[in-house]
Amino acid sequence: MMTLMQTILATQVPQGSVALWWLGQNSFIAKSPLGIRVGIDLYLTDRCAERHPEINLRRRVPALIAPEELQLDIFATTHNHCDHTDPETIRRFHNRQGVLFVGPHPSCETFRSVGVPEQQMVPAWPGCTIQLGDVTLHGTFALPTDDSDLNHIGYVLEVAGGPRIYWTGDTSDHELLTSVSRYRPNVMIACINAGFNNLSHWEAARLASRIQPQVAIPCHWDLFPDNAADPEQFRAALRILAPQVRYVRLEHGQAWIYPDVS
Ligand SMILES: [Fe+2]
């Protein structure tokens, strides 16, 4: 039986589409028609639980890919919290030759601490653009959720001739989040957990009403018992605040191809 990473490697992505796999929290792998694989905030260990034993951060979704198995072209992070830039995941990511490690400067410090060479590091900030093959990553505005890291960003992943996927990253609510509209994202993937100053389900739905993607997907609600939320509340909030935006709830480890042209 193929592992999930082998399945991702074997998946052919149709022209004009992107394939996404959700691995829990804000961890995703995106694949383009040219086969470029981008990891976003890959958290594939239980390190947060060890770092914060005062609350229950034991992962409820198993790590669906072992870090040792990762095969990526870009490893991107939105900020330097342990569930987004995980040094243990990166340390165990053995096949990292030639991989671009993209993130704000505090994340680059973590990359550096686990031996990522300088020439493979690409600092990112709101408004930056990183291009590889048929994939362009745009850094977007995000508002820090506490003072332990003041350099949060989000991303828009744009596939040449295909869709644009927006990850809010961890962010508090702010009117500048609507600045992502300049990229006209087709899909918005938003944190909805409200805890630790992240967007609530209501704030995320209001953001969807302002930027008007075709699809809105909740994330960052599933992984930690002490930082969880009910995605049905986001679905309901969308019905009220942004009824024209389609709600999609992804299944962990299942490919979601957008748009589905089959
Ligand atoms: Fe987070």
User: Which tens digit of pLDDT belongs to each residue from 219-228?
Assistant: 999 999 999 9
Q: How far is the CA of 151 from the centre of ligand 1 (A)?
A: 13
* 255: in domain: no
Return the amino acid letter for 116. V
Q: Is residue 261 part of a domain?
A: no
Ligand 1 centroid – CA 58 distance (Å): 14
The model's pTM is 0.98
262 CA to centre of ligand 1 in angstroms: 34
Give the residue-averaged pLDDT of 87-93: 98
State yes or no: pLDDT of 106 exceeds 70: yes
Three-state SS at 243: coil
- 170 C-alpha to center of ligand 1: Å? 6
* Digit-coded pLDDT (tens) for 41-68: 999 999 999 999 999 999 999 999 999 9
What pLDDT sits at residue 260?
85
Q: Residue 203: which H helix or E strand, with range?
A: helix 201-211
Instruction: Work out whether strand 246-247 and strand 215-219 pair parallel, antiparallel, or are unpaired.
Output: parallel
Question: What pLDDT score does 262 carry?
Answer: 66
How many angstroms separate the alpha carbon of residue 24 from the centre of ligand 1?
11
In a domain, 262, yes or no: no
Domain contains 254: no
- Give the count of domains, the chain: 1
Cβ-based neighbours of 241, under 8 Å, separated by 6 or more: 202, 205, 206, 208, 209
Q: How far is the CA of 131 from the centre of ligand 1 (A)?
A: 25
Ligand 1 centroid distance, CA of 83 (Å): 5
Assign residue 195 the CATH number of its domain: 3.60.15.10
Average pLDDT of the chain, as a whole number: 97
Tell me if 154 is assigned to some domain: yes
What's residue 251's pLDDT?
A: 98
Structural domain harbouring 99: 4-249
Whether 21 maps to a domain, the answer reads yes
Does some domain include residue 142? Answer: yes
Predicted local distance difference test score (pLDDT) of residue 261: 75
CA 17 / ligand 1 centre spacing (Å)? 27
Q: Is residue 203 part of a domain?
A: yes
